Structure 1
Amino acid sequence: MVVEVTLKKATEDRKGLLTMKALPKWLGQSLYANSSIIVFLVLWEIAPRIGWVEQTFISPPSVVLETLRELLADGTLLKHIGVSLGRALGGFGIAAVAGIPLGFFLGGGVKLFERVATPLLRLLNAVNPFSLFPVFILLFGIGEVSKVAMIIWVCVWPVLLHTITGVKEIDPLLLKSAQSMGVKGKELFYKVILPAAAPAIFHGLKMSSGVAFFMLIAAEMIGASSGLGWLVWNAQTNYQIPVLFAATVVISVLGLSLHYLFGKLENKVINWKEHTPEY
Structure 2
Amino acid sequence: MGYTKKRKLSEAVFYYYRKSIAVVVFLVLWEIGPRLGLVDRTFIPSLSDIFSNMWQLLSAGKLLIHVGVSLRRAALGFSVAILIALPLGFLLGGWFKRFQEYLNPLLTLLAKINPFSMFPIFILLFGIGELTKVIIILWVCIWPVLFGTINGVKSIDPLLVKAALAMGTSKLALFWKVVLPGAAPNIFAGLKQGAGTSFFMLIAAEMIGATAGLGWMVLNSQVNFQIPRLFVAVVIIAVMGLLINYLIESLERKVLNWKEESVMN
Q: TM-score, normalised by structure 1?
A: 0.87
Matched, 1:212 2:198: yes
User: Cα distance 1:20–1:67, how it changes in 2: closer, same or farther (>3 A)?
Assistant: farther
Q: Give 2:159's aligned residue.
A: 173
Q: Distance in 1 between matches of 2:15 and 2:84?
A: 43
Structure-1 separation of matches of 2:91 and 2:6: 57
Over residues 107-146 of structure 1, what are the superposed CA-to-partner deviations in whole Å (9 max), with x where a residue is unaligned?
Answer: 1123331111111101100000000000001110110000
The correspondence for 1:93, drawn from 60, 64, 79, is: 79
The 3 A distance-change label for structure 1 pair 25 and 73 is farther
Equivalent pairs, count: 260
Mapped to 2, the partners of 1:202 and 1:117 lie a distance apart of 23
Q: Deviations over 1:223-253 (max 9, x none)?
A: 1110000001111111111101111100000
Pair 177,208 (structure 1): closer, same or farther in 2 beyond 3 Å = same
Among 106, 128, 131, the residue aligned to 1:145: 131
With 55-64 and 111-120 compared, the bigger mean Cα shift is at 111-120
User: 2:104 — aligned with what?
Assistant: 118
SS of match in other structure, 2:162: helix
Match 1:61 to one of 41, 44, 47 = 47
Residues 176/142 of structure 1: CA separation in 2 closer, same or farther (3 Å cut): same
Name the structure 2 match of 1:130.
116
Judge conservation of contact 2:128–2:208 (CA < 8 Å) in 1.
Answer: yes
Partner of 2:251: 265
Displacement of 1:35 in angstroms is 1.3
Aligned to 2:263: none
Structure 1: distance between partners of 2:82 and 2:53: 36
Question: Partners in 1 of 2:67 and 2:7 — Cα distance?
Answer: 42
RMSD, aligned α-carbons = 2.2
Superposed displacement of residue 30, structure 1: 3.3
Q: CA deviation at 1:184?
A: 2.7
Q: Report the counterpart of residue 183 of structure 1 in structure 2.
A: 169
Question: Cα gap change, 1:178/1:29 in structure 2, threshold over 3 Å: closer, same or farther?
Answer: closer
2:220 is the counterpart of 1:230:
no
Residue 181 of structure 2 contacts residue 259 of structure 2 at CA under 8 Å; is this kept in 1?
no
In structure 1, give the amino acid aligned to 2:54: L
Q: CA deviation at 1:106?
A: 0.7
CA distance in 2: counterparts of 1:84 and 1:71, whole angstroms:
16
Kindly provide the amino acid, as one letter, of the partner of residue 143 in structure 1.
G
Is 1:157 aligned to 2:137, yes or no?
A: no
Q: Counterparts of 1:22 and 1:253 in 2: how far apart (Å)? A: 29
Distance 1:186 1:23 in 2: 44
User: Structure 1 residue 81 and structure 2 residue 67: aligned?
Assistant: yes
For residue 9 of structure 1, what is the aligned residue in structure 2?
none
Q: Which moved more, 1:189-198 or 1:97-106?
A: 189-198
1:197 aligns to what? 183
CA distance 1:268–1:25, shift in 2 (3 Å): closer
Distance 1:212 1:246 in 2: 19
Deviation at 1:16, TM superposition (A): 11
Cα contact 2:78–2:137 (8 A) shared by 1: yes
Deviations 1:2-48 (A, max 9, x none): xxxxxxxxxxxxx9999999877765553343111111111111111
Note closer, same or farther for the CA distance 1:269–1:19 as it changes in structure 2 (3 Å cut): closer
Unaligned stretches of 5+ residues in structure 2: 261-265
Report the Cα distance in structure 1 between the residues aligned to 2:34 and 2:115, rounded to whole angstroms. Answer: 36
Q: Residue 176 and residue 28 in structure 1: after superposition, are their counterparts in 2 closer, same or farther (change >3 A)? A: closer
Rounded to whole Å, the distance in 2 between the matches of 1:121 and 1:252 is 30
Question: Which residue identity does 1:268 align to in structure 2?
Answer: K
Paired AA for residue 163 in structure 1: T
Q: Distance in 2 between matches of 1:253 and 1:175?
A: 41
